[in-house]
Structure 1
Amino acid sequence: MKKRFWVLPLLILLAFAVVFLIATSNGKSDYVKFIESYGWEVEDTPIEIESFKLPDTLDTVYMVYNDIQLRAHFDLTPYMGKEVTRYTYKVLNYVDGARCNILVYDGKIIAADISTVAIDGFMHAINERPY
């Protein structure tokens, strides 16, 4: 009986803690803050979230992608064969259709790029400003 007595107050305390955390944050995720630290403006909510496994070794496509990442001081090689999550955000202060992709492993950002999916599109490191 005494255990049940503590459940309701504990739930109320937890609810207040969550409300406090939401109210004191500026509403932006750490991922959005990371992207904005490079001068990019993005929507607060990702337009796509996808989890996938990186290949065990760098194939030709991932070698090219890793070369882009190395220019931004990221390196995918320690994460080959790992399950990662890609968060894609719409970029607001660049060409139409621009996106920012970040790859996350175990809560850590391991790669980030700016790209488009257009046929004549592009991809570059998050720290590059081609214009």
Structure 2
Amino acid sequence: MMVFQVRLPRRRAAAMAAAVVMVAAAAAVLAGCFNGKEKPLTLADDPARVSYLQELGWQVESTPVETLDLQLPQELAETWGEYAAMQTAQGMPFADYAGQPVRRYTYRVTNYPGMEKGVQANLYLCGDVLIGGDIVATGKGGFQHGLEYPGV
């Protein structure tokens, strides 16, 4: 039987122990960031946002018709409650971003079944992270629903 003896100065042992603790803490923090959820979807530019909408079945114009910066309230229930519930139902983390600055990108939809015009797709992003979205038609017979393509 062979026995190895390692002499490790106290400073080096303390540094190694601290490094192990830091790595374990970082892993725990990163694991907690997603709380069992999927990795956030990042859409950094117009081509990425348009591509995402196309993957869902939507045909949209390549540039937004409007870009709007807004600040979500700390409490969404009063003004954004129903919208936040719709986002939760479609798996979007909108409610997690209460109190945060967000940007809404609005694209003109060109292939909504039975409607030639007047339909738009909204994507809400916090930084480059997609937090919510909807399809909306304004005016007479208007509607709003999640991003899922009708009939899918």
Partner deviation per Cα, 1:86-127 (whole Å, 9 max, x = no partner): 000000001220000000101111101000121431000001
Q: Distance in 2 between matches of 1:124 and 1:31?
A: 18
What are the ranges of 5 or more consecutive residues in structure 1 without an aligned counterpart?
1-27
Deviation beyond 4 Å, 4+ runs, structure 1: none
Relative to structure 1, the CA distance from residue 89 to residue 69 in structure 2 (aligned partners, 3 Å threshold; closer, same or farther) is: same
TM score, norm. by length of structure 1: 0.73
State whether structure 2 residue 120 is matched by structure 1 residue 99: yes
- 1:70-89 to structure 2, matched below 5 A, reads 70-89=88-107
Q: Over aligned residues, Cα RMSD in angstroms?
A: 1.7
Identity rate, percent: 30
Aligned counterpart, 2:49: 31
Residues 88 and 95 in structure 2, CA contact (< 8 A), matched pair in contact too: no
Structure 2 counterpart of 1:88, one-letter code: T
1:29 is paired with a residue whose SS is helix
Aligned counterpart, 2:64: 46
Deviates further, 91-100 or 113-122: 113-122
Partner deviation per Cα, 1:9-60 (whole Å, 9 max, x = no partner): xxxxxxxxxxxxxxxxxxx610001111100000000000000001111133
What are the ranges of 5 or more consecutive residues in structure 2 without an aligned counterpart?
1-45
State whether structure 2 residue 87 is matched by structure 1 residue 66: no
Relative to structure 1, the CA distance from residue 119 to residue 130 in structure 2 (aligned partners, 3 Å threshold; closer, same or farther) is: farther
Q: Distance in 1 between matches of 2:85 and 2:149?
A: 13
1:33 is paired with a residue whose SS is helix
TM score, norm. by length of structure 2: 0.63
- Paired positions, count: 104
Structure 2 counterpart of 1:70, one-letter code: T
